[in-house]
Amino acid sequence: MTTDKYPLFPLSAHLLPGGRMALRIFEPRYVRMVKEVCASGGHLVMCMLNAKGDKETNQHIYPIGTLATVIDFDLLDDGLLGIKVAGLVNVEVSNIETQQDGLRTACCENLSPWQCHVSPQQLSPIDDRLKEIFERYPELAELYDELHYDDPIWVMQRWLELLPVDAKQKQYFLEQGDCNKLLNYLAALVQ
């Protein structure tokens, strides 16, 4: 596995592999980040914020992030920069450095993709509820070229992005390496 250095974009929301997110960029450090990433054809890492972590030592950023690419950008009606990002792969974030303007960069190593062996019967109630959410909130569905309701990992990762649970709980599920604990959690939730 290779380790590369990327700029970090910490948020309270999170993006996972296969996911898409629309963002409004207004802080100068992140405008600079987007310009540099787009000019170089590079990537950024979307990270979850740890509300209890110390900012001075960069403990406010959880260790599992998602390598992402900017797939679209536009100047919004309010003058802000709007971007759409797509999640590629989960990464482990380490050796965070803070640049002069506050932009953080870190060494990031790709993590192995989740393993997930789920029957269509196990997935059925979970993917049906996700379809309902995407139908109720069409702005979510519009972010995607295709919706992969038959892919257990795609379905569960979209759920993990949308669930109103704290980042610590989301990190716990990401640390597992497979989807079993999240599958059990979601199955109980949608019953």
**CA–CA–CA angle 59, 20, 87 (5° rounding):** 55
Q: Considering the entire predicted model, what is its pTM? A: 0.93
pLDDT at 191: 75
What is the average pLDDT across 96-114? 94
Which residue shows structure tokens 């509300």? 51
The 10s digit of each residue's pLDDT in 178-189 is: 888 999 999 898
What kind of architecture, by CATH, is found in domain 3-110? Roll (2.30)
**Distances 115 to 47, 68, 157 between C-alpha atoms, Å:** 22, 20, 12
**What is the residue extent of each domain of the chain?**
3-110, 120-190
The 10s digit of each residue's pLDDT in 9-58 is: 999 888 999 999 999 999 999 999 999 999 999 999 999 999 888 888 88
Binned at pLDDT 50, 70 and 90, residue 80 comes out as confident
Q: Are 186 and 180 in contact (CB under 8 A)?
A: no
pLDDT at 2: 60
